[in-house]
Amino acid sequence: MSAADTPPMLSAISISIHAALFGLSLALYAPHASAQQAHSLTGATTLDRIEVQGERGNYQVPRISSAMKTDTALLGTPQSVTVITDQLIRDQSMQSMADVVRYVPGVQMGQGEGHRDAPILRGNTSTADFFINGVRDDVQYYRDLYNVERIEVLKGPSGMIFGRGGSGGLINRVTKLANWTNQGEISATIGSWDNRRITGDFNHAMSDTAAFRITGMYEDSESYRDEVELKRWAINPTLTFRANEATRISFGYEHFEDDRVTDRGVPSQLPIKNAPLHTDSSTFFGNSELSPTWVRVDALTATVTHDFGNDTRIVNQTRYADYDKFYQNVFAGTYTAANNRVAISAYNNLTARKNLLNQTDLTFKVETGAVKHEFLVGAEFSRQETNNFRETGFFPAVGANVTSAFVTLPKTIYTGPIAFRQAASDAHNNSVAKNAAIYIQDQIELSPQWQAVLGVRFDRFEADLRNNRNGSSLSSSDDLFSPRVGLIYKPKDNISIYANHTLAYVPRAGEQLASLTPSNRNLDPEKFTNDEIGVKWDITPEVTTSLAIYQLSRTNVAIVDPNNPAQSLLVDGQRVRGIELEASGRITDTWQIMGGYSYQDSEVQQPGAQNGNRLGQVPKNSFSVWNRYDFNPNWGIGLGVIHQGEVYVASDNTVKLPSFTRVDAAAFYNINEKLRMQLNVENILDQDYYSSAHSNNDIMPGSPRAVRLGVTYRF
């Protein structure tokens, strides 16, 4: 490990602390917020926050409810949390989860084979660790932001609150719900490569006891990638009722459709060169007409909240979601330099899932002498039924049972026939996963300076899988104990120093509930352990900074027993040691920032050739900062810089993607109180780079310079 390639941990800590002190010293010169602003920010309940028309936005949120399932200040949360606010989403013209995580330290977005969100949180790739208002949304698809109020990224395992999964963290979308603020908004965006998108948000108080809100979106866009296009639309009405002064009931329904071309990028030059095959960023490999992907989501939600008084509250959430997801891809494989050919393969997969989930959370406060307690007692029940059906692409022009063909460069499009049918190993399964959980947590205020968080969750997870091809069935069950231990010291009201220990598990059914095999069904679940210390400092009520140092270990990884290939062994899997530094908020009345730095020292820890390698797509150093500066109430500009160090595509450490620095910019103009315009330019310097990957032959070139012009009308 060279000093140029990898700074030692102590050096990285020193760099982070010096950077933090530099940023904080600048912020100390910012004028303090008025007493009225300070009170509104420290006393607000984020869950029930109503954004009033004309209120100035902010990149900082002081309190959230998801991390602890209680309304808790981020200062009192012993965990690294990044919140992407509605204001930041608007200012950067974000349209996808990939846009969201660009400014989140310690999180990258994998390619996801061109058909799904696949974040990499502290070195752990996931396609299932997504939640909506704290409830699971775990099917593989691309999520949209049209109905989002904010996005919360919780880093480190959170098994005590969220149960199974969440190996490196999770992403929670907080959606827009009906409230008693009468306002509406419609936005239209046009941009490079025929980017065309419109969103709407209408919120209306029907009476003192009932409110209605509807959000919607339609998009019809092409891409900088040849032959790639996207069409999607959604609608999300919600109703909120005040049954009485103490009881509130909310209902919601979402219908979401997304149709696009599955795009898996470009192959590498292995074994001639450990780098991507050099092509124009627009070059598409495979066959776009035979590579459709689509998803249909219908989801119903109901939430009942009752306040008993005396700081006692109960919340019950029920969500039923019906997902249908299909993708087919004709994609590139190995490149052969001798004849300048690229292998082409194909398959498809259909997934149908029905989720029924129910959560109940009771919170109450108790004082025992000088010690104060805030208790959470909860239960969760779920049933998830999944049907999977996969087919392999065969190439009749090459041979009846041949599963690959070739294109010879510069030709990259395969135009021959492909027949899709089931191969011997293709899945045709039905699985049912059931989970019952209870949990208890105590947030203890030992003194004004010392606080502790103690919690434990017990999950009974059962999975049954039927192979419809041969009629065989497999079952497994796991008892999961997920503790949480946190300690917080507050030398001042606006500073907290914390230590935290958490666990999470992924059962053998896998994150997508279809991975049971005869050899793994009786194995212990994979285990993820996170130990973290950190400092949080609210320099002003509108500026939040944090520094976290952590170690996240993955154990109980199953590998084939070299002495008995029919059996599996459990070994240590990987370890990530890291540092995350973050700052967000309003530095002055005219200047806002969102930025962070991440150092990740990742290592494979299992027998075999990869032992000691770095994890795929986990950069050692990454940095991002976004600034918005308002010259006056009408004009403002934005400037962002994203830097990512070089990464290996996969843990075999053969193909390497170079580091890159990308610059984004924006201009904002308020024509009047109701009408505003903004211009966003992504990659303004037209930097060539690679944005993500899935494997050594699935590498996605980053977008060239792209422009978006948006107009928003409020009424």
The model's pLDDT over 60-84, given as tens digits with 9 standing for 90+, comes to 999 999 999 999 999 999 999 999 9
H-helix or E-strand containing 13? Answer: helix 9-27
Residue type, 39: H
φ, ψ of residue 654 in degrees (nearest 5)? -105, -50
What does the pLDDT read at residue 564?
78
State residue 608's pLDDT score.
Answer: 86
Q: Can you tell me the mean pLDDT for 257-285? A: 95
265/279 Cα distance (integer angstroms): 10
Angstrom distance (rounded) from CA 637 to CA 635 = 7
Is pLDDT larger for residue 316 or for residue 32? Answer: 316
Q: What pTM, to 2 d.p., does this model score?
A: 0.91
Q: What angle do CA 255, 261, 262 make, to 5 degrees?
A: 100
213-252 per-position pLDDT tens digit: 999 999 999 999 999 999 999 999 999 999 999 999 999 9
- Count of C-beta atoms within a 10 Å radius of residue 28: 10
CB 149 within 8 A of CB 178: no
CB-CB neighbours of 528 under 10 Å: 27
Tell whether the model's pLDDT for residue 41 goes beyond 60: no
The domains of the chain, with CATH numbers, are: 9-714 (2.40.170.20)
At 63, phi and psi to the nearest 5? -140, 145
| Secondary structure string (H, E, C) spanning 606-636 | CCCCCCCCCCCCCCCEEEEEEEEEECCCCEE
Dist CA 686 CA 701 (whole Å): 12
126-138: per-residue pLDDT in tens? 999 999 999 999 9
Q: What is the pLDDT of residues 593-613, one digit of tens each?
A: 999 999 999 999 988 889 999
On whether the CB atoms of residues 528 and 167 are closer than 8 A, the answer is yes
Q: Give per-residue pLDDT as tens, 492-534.
A: 999 999 999 999 999 999 999 999 998 899 999 999 999 999 9
Cα 367 from Cα 123, distance rounded (Å): 41
**398 is written with which tokens?**
């090459």
Mean of per-residue pLDDT scores for the chain: 91
* Helix/strand/coil (H/E/C) assignment for every residue in 23-75: HHHHHCCCCCCCHHHHHHHHHCCHHHCCCCCCCCCCCCCCEECCCCCCCEEHH
CB 176 within 8 A of CB 149: yes
Residue 10: the pLDDT is: 32
464 CA to centre of own chain: 28
DSSP string, 547-565: EEEEEEEEE-EEEEETTEE
Q: Which amino acid is at 285?
A: F
Evaluate if residue 47 carries a pLDDT over 50: no
Please give the average per-residue pLDDT across 333-351, as a whole number: 96
Please give the single-letter amino acid code of residue 239.
Answer: L
pLDDT reading at 94 higher than 80: yes
Segment holding 526, helix H or strand E? strand 526-540
